[in-house]
Amino acid sequence: MYLLNRFTTKRLQKITLEKAWSLKKPRVGHLRIFYSVAYAKIQEEKRTKLEDKSQKCILLGYSENSYGYKLYNPMTKKVTMSRDVKFDEEL
C-alpha cells in the first residue's frame, strides 16, 4: 500500500495521489533496487578481531515486521534482516 498510494490513477492525470494531497512531489530516494549487491555489517559481538566487518549479500526487499532490509547471503544460503547496510547499485 505504501507504493500504491504514490502511483498515478486514471482520474488524476499525470499526477500521483501524494502530490495531489500534499502539493509536493513524493520522495523516493530511500527506495533501493531489488537484487542489488549489499554489504551488511556484522556485529562486533559476532566476529573476531581479524574477521571481515561486513558480508556480501543480495537485497530481496524490505522487512515486514520492523525497519530494515531483507538480505540473502549466497555463501551461507540464508536470509537475514539487517538495518546497517551499504548498497552497491551501480553493478
- Tens of pLDDT, residue by residue over 46-78, are 999 999 999 999 999 888 887 889 999 999 999
CA separation for the pair 30, 79 (Å, rounded): 21
Q: Which pTM value belongs to this model?
A: 0.68
Contact predicate 61/70, CB 8 Å: yes
| 13-25 confidence digits (pLDDT tens) | 777 777 877 888 8
